Amino acid sequence: MKKTALRSATLAGAVAVGLALTACSGGADTTSAASGPAEIDFWGWAPGYAEAVDAYNASQDAVVVNYEEISPGAKGGYEKMLNAVTAGNAPCLGQVGYETLTSFAAQGALEDVSDIADANKDEFSAATWAAMSVGDAVYGAPVDQGPMALFYNTEVFDSLGIAVPTTWDEYQAAAQKIHAADPSKYISATYLNYDYAGFDWQAQAPWFGVEGESWKVSIDSAAGKKVADYWQGLVDEGLMSPAPMWDQSWYTGLGDGSIATHVGAVWIAGILKGSAPDGAGKWAVAPMPQWTAGDDVTGNVGGSGTAVLEGCDNPEAAWDFAHFMSTDADTFSALVETAGLYPAANDLLTLPVLSEGDDYFGGQNIYEVFAESSAQVAEGWVWGPNMPETVGFLDDSLSGAWAGTGTIADALATTQKKTVVGLEAQGLSVTE
Amino acid sequence: MTPTLASATRPPRNDRASDAPGRGRAQRDTTLGSRIGVMSVLVLATIYFLLPIWWLIVASTKPAGRQFSGNGLWFEGFGLFENIALVFEVNDGVFGQWMLNSVFYAGTSALIGTVISAMAGYAIAKYEFRGRGVVFGIILAAVLIPKIMFTLPLFLMFNQVGLLNTPIAMLLPSIVSPFGVYLARVFAAQSVPDELIEAGRLDGAGEFRVFRSVSMRIMAPALVTIFLFQFVEVWNNYLLPAMVLNDTSLQPVVVGLVGWSGSNGVVPAGTVVVGAFLSVIPLLIAFLFLQRFWRAGLTAGAIK
Amino acid sequence: MSAITTGATSARTLRWRTPWLFLLPFLVLFVAIYVAPILFAFTQSLFTLQRDGLGLTAPTLAFDPFANYARVFGDAEFQASLGRVLLFGIVQVPIMLGLALLIALLIDSKSARGRGFFRMASFLPFAIPGVVAAVMWSFLYSPVTSPINGFLESAFGFSIPFFSDGLALWSVANVVTWVWTGYNMLIIYSALQTIPAETLEAAKIDGASATRIAWSIKIPMVRPALILTTVFSIIGSAQLFNEPTVLKSISGGAITSTYTPLMAAQSSVAAQNYPYAAAQSVVLAVLVGVASFVFFKLTSRGEQ
């Protein structure tokens, strides 16, 4: 699960030497109006953030942001932030993936800034704003998002004369035709943790919810079962490639056409270009298949925001920067180019850098599809209070299900059971 | 005292392996059949041991992005230098930093550790004192229990005292080497004559002075062995640095490589392969050129 | 050190103090790195994380000395992981040591040529850190692009499902065997070198065949080394972590996040449940400690 958390948060997760900076909570004296600009510390890892901070510092005199580049969240960055919060020397701001934000909140590691932030709510896509919130509390500004669509290999589809599937039924029919024509070709490969969650997200089968003062755990919901049974059907018919996602065999399959589609988030485009160069010119993007013909509902995988960490003594200044980085057109254009981030702010979806054709995709401007998808991401998805644990449970049984041991539905049921036990063991209030 | 010591203190028989003179006679003693049998088993075993390394070398020389194409065991195009340049380019050249970190952690802790082990082993071997048996028993027990068992508790403790993510968290545990003490004890008992120590004392030198200028000198080759074992142990250690060092810039190369290999394509698998190849070169060279020190340690210790 | 040489101290105190001063640095670090973390982990394991409702404030620790231990002993996955490494130890260790012994005897035999080469070739994998070896083997095992299966398929028309339920543990075992066989081989080989040449000559004059000499003289005489490598390897199995962790992502679910005891404890850390991780570590350390003690007693009695 660590893998996707990293992937989803940043595309080119490069990491460099970060300078040790003093923590913001210790610098109370610097925030008084008389003694010059307020100082805000910010920890993150996405490439391009350092430049975004420079741009902000150059744009105004009231706040100085000190950026420190840390390891990607799931690679130790989150642990570092949580430890700093516990020790009382955390920075004011930290990069936190949406899937992890709730877990941070449930550690008491975040500061509610809803009274400052709510005014900007409408500038962001509904799904990403919800992702930075738990209940009425808002913990920071969404930066990027991962709306889903269908990546498909045009060569495979054209050679067999198959139309691009618009529903999951058509998708299954396409899978059968492709495999029948060439048994070494498959419709798609395995989906784990957050990538699988995207399917449940689309099907409006949220894994978690907040009911009053309790966590609702619904990983094995009926709606989720429908999704599980669908993919199980494809596995049982032998239509899915056994290549584990992110393994070399997966990249090879994406490059040589033996994996004909991938249903995933916008950042998959960067993966294809970087790791499946053989697929150049063959791939294209279409809207995500629907459960009911004519619907237009999608899911989201990944994305991260700038969260205000517990102990921040100048949330106004912190918010000012976070908001700037997420919404400033020039700054974000640079982030699109260096980090491949896809903006969470509605106005930025039409940036010039997101309006160009791409040779890898046969000249298609794939972002048109994703801009549409962004507006269609289903509402009501909530992440749980201990996602590292939950996706750990899930992957243990889900990878087996794709490989033919056990079923996807059983994997979800097992995860449900273990998650409830795990949360209750910590004294959290849980309903099912 | 223990089975190891019994075999360790016995002087090694002539190593017939490298003894050229023995060969002529040996040839006469053996039949062609037995030679073929022995050699074919040895060749098979060698293929098993060397094939993965061979694959690594071959893959590293293939042009960037083609590491997994074609015949896995034979060359196909040449891109080694370009690949190496690529490894040092990814993530702003952090790979070079990792290699330096590994050298620093392994070198520093092995150096300090060797001195500390030498002192402790020497004391146990050369002084009669109450509690000696207990101390030595504890050290033997510590040799027996894998160090990795202590890593998680160490992480928890360092977390509490705020030492996480500092080089200290990596160095402190790496310095302590019960096996080093054990080896030092064996070597000191074997190689440092009591008469020399007495002579030093009669000359009026203090105990520490005797240790430093007499015993340490005699033990020098053995200390190289201790240093090497500890160096490799620290260099190869994964769990400790993976848990206590979060900052990429602080990590040793093994942790960095595993990070790359789990980076979901951020760093292409081909680059991971070439990085792995580069990372093992220093130790492979050390192994090839320092053979006799390894043998010394393995003969004396006969334990991990 | 200068304190002990001042005239104020009497010679007897000096004698008594000197060895302890030599031991001091080691003992201090030993307590800090081996004893303190275990005590700390033990203390921490007596608490449980407590939160309520949605838990949107920092969790608190509540003293509940048995809760974590009750959970450990009821944790089916943790127990399964213990059973798994036990099975691993019982099967993999004899195979690895049998192979090591065979190679050592063959290299030691008169029929062998190029001894130095074969010795080095089998020792070379030890220069490769366990995780890097696992990364390497993960490419060789990779479900679709495995060069091994590529070869087998084109030559013999079959492939090995490295991560099927039955094989996964042994695919892990293969990586461990690959890294450690040469190391153990050298220990055994070094022990073979200590057999007095006269003993072997005498046997030959009596007309014993090479196989018979190996079986009746060499193997019994290296028994101490064999026992020791066995004990260490079996105990070492308990620390299985690096290889399965690296292979997990391509194992298609055959290797889970709680595959070995250390992995289970590590995943408790990942889930931010430090007290439970502490309890798992303590239980594991105690089990390994007891096992080591028993083995140690058994083997040293056998020698007396």
**A132-146, A387-401, B20-34, C284-298: segment of lowest average pLDDT:** B20-34
Side chain identity, residue C94: P
CA contacts within 13 A on the Cβ side of B131: 8
Partner residue opposite A15 with nearest CB, options B91, B165, B269: B91
- What is the gyration radius of the CA atoms in chain A, in angstroms? 22
Residue located via tokens 């989906």: A191
Residue located via tokens 């299900």: A401
The alpha carbon of residue C227 is apart from the nearest alpha carbon of chain B, in Å, by: 9
Average pLDDT over residues A92-117: 93
Interstrand relation of A38-44 and A93-97 (parallel, antiparallel or unpaired): parallel
User: Token digits for C63?
Assistant: 């003293």
Question: CA-CA distances (angstroms) from residue B155 to B251, C43, C289?
Answer: 15, 14, 20
What pLDDT was estimated at residue A197?
Answer: 96
% chain B with pLDDT above 90: 43
Contact A70 B91 (CB under 8 A): no
% chain B with pLDDT above 70: 87
What is the complex's ipTM, to 2 decimals? 0.86
Nearest CA in chain C to A259: C144
CATH level 2 (architecture), domain A148-299+380-431? 3-Layer(aba) Sandwich (3.40)
Tallying the residues shown for chain A, one arrives at 432
Calculate the average pLDDT of chain A: 88
Q: Could you tell me the pLDDT band of residue A21, with boundaries at 50, 70 and 90?
A: very low
Residue A298 has pLDDT above 90, yes or no: yes
Decide if A135 touches C, using CB distance below 8 A. yes
In CATH, which superfamily holds the domain spanning A2-145+301-354? Periplasmic binding protein-like II (3.40.190.10)
Which candidate in A103, A111, A389, A421 is best for mutational testing of the C interface (most C CBs within 10 A)? A389
Cα(C162)–Cα(B304) distance, integer angstroms: 29
Decide if B149 touches C, using CB distance below 8 A. yes
**A110-119, A147-156, A270-279: segment of lowest average pLDDT:** A270-279
Nearest to B269 by CA among B11, B15, B117, B56: B56
From the options 1.10.3720.10, 1.10.10.60, 3.30.1280.10, 3.30.830.10, give the CATH code of C75-303. 1.10.3720.10
Residue B93 has pLDDT above 90, yes or no: no
Beta bridge partners of residue A40, listed in sequence order: A65
Q: Could you tell me the pLDDT band of residue A416, with boundaries at 50, 70 and 90?
A: very high
Interstrand relation of A148-153 and A283-286 (parallel, antiparallel or unpaired): antiparallel
DSSP A287: P
Contact A277 B162 (CB under 8 A): no
Q: Which part of chain C is CATH 1.10.3720.10?
A: 75-303
User: Token digits for C96?
Assistant: 């690895």
Partner residue opposite B91 with nearest CB, options A6, A16, A274: A16
Q: Could you tell me the pLDDT band of residue B29, with boundaries at 50, 70 and 90?
A: low
Cα(B175)–Cα(B105) distance, integer angstroms: 9
What pLDDT was estimated at residue B263?
Answer: 75
Q: At a CB cut-off of 8 Å and minimum separation 6, what does C69 contact?
A: C45, C279, C283
Nearest CA in chain A to B246: A76
Tallying the residues shown for chain C, one arrives at 304
What pLDDT was estimated at residue B6?
Answer: 32
Residue B298 has pLDDT above 90, yes or no: no
Q: Could you tell me the pLDDT band of residue A237, with boundaries at 50, 70 and 90?
A: very high
Residue A2 has pLDDT above 50, yes or no: no
Cα(A399)–Cα(A406) distance, integer angstroms: 9
Nearest to B41 by CA among C113, C116, C226: C113
Residue located via tokens 């992110």: A246
Nearest to B156 by CA among A88, C277, A80: C277
> Does residue C95 contact residue C176 with C-beta atoms inside 8 Å?
no
Q: What is the pLDDT of residues A175-229, one digit of tens each?
A: 999 999 999 999 999 999 999 999 999 999 999 998 888 999 999 999 999 999 9
Side chain identity, residue A316: E
Q: What is the pLDDT of residues A131-144, one digit of tens each?
A: 999 888 999 999 99
What pLDDT was estimated at residue A369?
Answer: 96
What pLDDT was estimated at residue C2?
Answer: 41
Residues of chain C in contact with residue B303, where contact means CB-CB under 8 angstroms, are: 187, 228-229, 232
What pLDDT was estimated at residue B180?
Answer: 92
- Run of H or E residues at A336: helix A329-339
Neighbours of C13 (CB within 10 A): 11
Residue A5 has pLDDT above 80, yes or no: no
CATH 1.10.3720.10, applies to B88-301: yes
Q: Which part of chain A is CATH 3.40.190.10?
A: 2-145+301-354, 148-299+380-431
User: Token digits for A362?
Assistant: 């046969």
User: Token digits for A213?
Assistant: 């003062």
Residue B20 has pLDDT above 80, yes or no: no
Beta bridge partners of residue A358, listed in sequence order: A364
Question: CA-CA distances (angstroms) from residue A130 to A149, A429, B231?
Answer: 21, 22, 51
A289 burial via Cβ count (<10 Å: 0-12, 13-18, 19+): buried
Q: Where are the domains of chain B?
A: 88-301
What pLDDT was estimated at residue A138?
Answer: 96
C143 burial via Cβ count (<10 Å: 0-12, 13-18, 19+): buried
Residues of chain C in contact with residue A75, where contact means CB-CB under 8 angstroms, are: none
Q: Could you tell me the pLDDT band of residue A378, with boundaries at 50, 70 and 90?
A: very high
Contact A13 B268 (CB under 8 A): no
What is the pTM (predicted TM-score) of this model?
Answer: 0.83
Cα(C1)–Cα(A192) distance, integer angstroms: 61
> Does residue A249 contact residue C144 with C-beta atoms inside 8 Å?
yes
Average pLDDT over residues A158-164: 96
Residue B300 has pLDDT above 90, yes or no: no
What pLDDT was estimated at residue C251?
Answer: 87
The alpha carbon of residue B231 is apart from the nearest alpha carbon of chain A, in Å, by: 25
Interstrand relation of A133-134 and A137-138 (parallel, antiparallel or unpaired): antiparallel
Nearest to A17 by CA among A58, A53, A70: A70
- What is the gyration radius of the CA atoms in chain B, in angstroms? 24
What is the DSSP track for B126-161? H---TTHHHHHHHHHHHHHS-GGGGHHHHHHHHHHH
What pLDDT was estimated at residue C154?
Answer: 87
Residue A1 has pLDDT above 60, yes or no: no
Residuewise pLDDT in 10s, chain C (304 residues): 444 444 444 555 666 788 999 999 999 999 999 999 999 999 999 998 888 788 887 788 889 999 999 999 999 999 999 999 999 999 999 999 999 999 999 999 888 888 889 998 999 999 899 999 998 898 899 877 788 888 888 889 888 989 888 899 999 999 999 999 999 998 899 889 888 888 888 888 888 888 888 888 899 988 888 888 888 888 888 889 999 999 988 888 899 999 999 999 988 888 888 899 999 999 998 998 888 778 777 776 554 4
What pLDDT was estimated at residue A29?
Answer: 39
The alpha carbon of residue C72 is apart from the nearest alpha carbon of chain A, in Å, by: 13
Residue located via tokens 């699960």: A1
DSSP A378: P
Window A:90-109, CB contacts with C under 8 Å: 103, 105-109
Q: What is the pLDDT of residues B196-214, one digit of tens each?
A: 888 888 888 888 888 988 8
Q: Could you tell me the pLDDT band of residue A13, with boundaries at 50, 70 and 90?
A: very low
Where helices occur in chain C by DSSP H, the ranges are 11-30, 36-45, 67-74, 76-108, 115-123, 130-141, 147-156, 168-193, 197-205, 210-213, 219-221, 223-237, 242-247, 261-270, 274-303
Cα(A118)–Cα(A122) distance, integer angstroms: 8
Average pLDDT over residues B126-144: 88
Residues of chain A in contact with residue C256, where contact means CB-CB under 8 angstroms, are: 396-397
Cα(B231)–Cα(B58) distance, integer angstroms: 28
How are strands ordered across the β-sheet holding A430-431? Answer: A208-211, A214-217, A430-431
Decide if C152 touches B, using CB distance below 8 A. no
Q: Could you tell me the pLDDT band of residue A32, with boundaries at 50, 70 and 90?
A: very low
Contact A274 B269 (CB under 8 A): no
% chain A with pLDDT above 90: 71
Residues of A with a Cβ under 8 Å from any B Cβ are 2-4, 6-7, 11-18, 70-71, 75-77, 79-80, 83, 87, 246, 248, 251-252, 271, 274-275, 277
Q: Could you tell me the pLDDT band of residue B249, with boundaries at 50, 70 and 90?
A: confident
3-state secondary structure of A285: strand
What pLDDT was estimated at residue A269?
Answer: 92
Q: At a CB cut-off of 8 Å and minimum separation 6, what does A419 contact?
A: A217, A219, A384, A386, A389, A390, A393
> Does residue A225 contact residue A232 with C-beta atoms inside 8 Å?
no
Cα(C132)–Cα(B236) distance, integer angstroms: 9
Q: Which long-range contacts (CB under 8 A, 24 or more apart) does B210-216 make?
A: B211/B119, B211/B122, B211/C22, B215/B122, B215/B126, B215/B188, B216/B118
How are strands ordered across the β-sheet holding A261-265? Answer: A261-265, A148-153, A283-286
Cα(C164)–Cα(A242) distance, integer angstroms: 12
User: Token digits for B279?
Assistant: 């990372």
Partner residue opposite C127 with nearest CB, options B207, B261, B287: B287
